Amino acid sequence: MAGLFLPPQRIDGLGRWACRTMLLLALVCLQWSAFAESPRTVEAQRWKAETLASIASKIQNASSDDERLEYSARQSWLRRWRPGHMPSAPADAPNESELMEEPVLADLQRPESVDSDVWSVMVDLQKRLIASDTDEERKDNLRKTIELAGELEQSLMDHLPSDSQTLATPTGWTLAFTRYRLGRALAYRELPEVRERWPIAKPDQYQTRLVAAVQRLTDQTQGDRREFILLQDRMFRRSGKKGRALEVLEANRHSIDPKWYLKKRRDLLQELGWDPPYREAARLYLQAGYVDE
């Protein structure tokens, strides 16, 4: 019977050998899984390389600085994208500590140079404008919002002293937010579901009004302001500068509501025809719990 059993020291040796072998196999498997990639990821990487090569050619052959800037923006975004590793929206967005809240005229002291009756009218206009221009009813209330924002902007320009129309004052910020609401409402008119209900009868006149409204805001803010970045993003997007729109979106992602950041990123990638990153962006939008209205 003794011959049926191995000596204890031999059993220990075999056990140690088996453990080392299993550990080695486990490490090999882990390394393989780390480097192994799904066919979809491999295809996405191939697409990325081909698209970057195409963009590089377009940059080299660009006929203008503006065109070169657009393709450079597309190149910059695509270089950063790692298939399968697209980030979701920042967890702390929007960082409201870096954003100015819209001042409410009813809470402000009336400037001495503004008549009390005029001030009361402006207070009422702003109250009605804010009630009309909500996330839930924005598309349905565009006519009213455009009318109210236009009236309030004109009244603020006519009656506020020039030094009260700068961003150094609360009333100046009220004017800026009013211009933002007007520009956004005008831009919303181009949405397919809005145009179906309210066609743009005079495109040239509409274009002039929209561009002028946005320009007044830009002139007042003297450049980009995070509070109004989504309007700038839309203006890039509607003019075909989708790469620049994408880069503006990314640069300000900590200041944008996660839903709008994820949705606009997804939509821009779709409009660019970039199917692999679009699919990944669409998945992240759904995983975050958002659906299109």
Cα three-residue angle 58-59-62, rounded to 5 degrees: 80
Q: What is the mean pLDDT of residues 112-126?
A: 98
Give the model's pLDDT for residue 37. 56
**178-191: string of b/e by CB count within 10 Å (b at 16+)?**
bbbbbbbbbbbbee
Considering the entire predicted model, what is its pTM?
0.81
What tens digit of pLDDT does each residue of 35-60 get?
A: 445 778 899 999 999 999 999 999 99
Give the model's pLDDT for residue 20. 58
What tens digit of pLDDT does each residue of 160-205 get?
A: 999 999 999 999 999 999 999 999 999 999 999 999 999 999 999 9
* Cα–Cα distance for residue pair 258/90, rounded to 1 Å: 7
- pLDDT category at 18 given cuts 50, 70, 90 is low
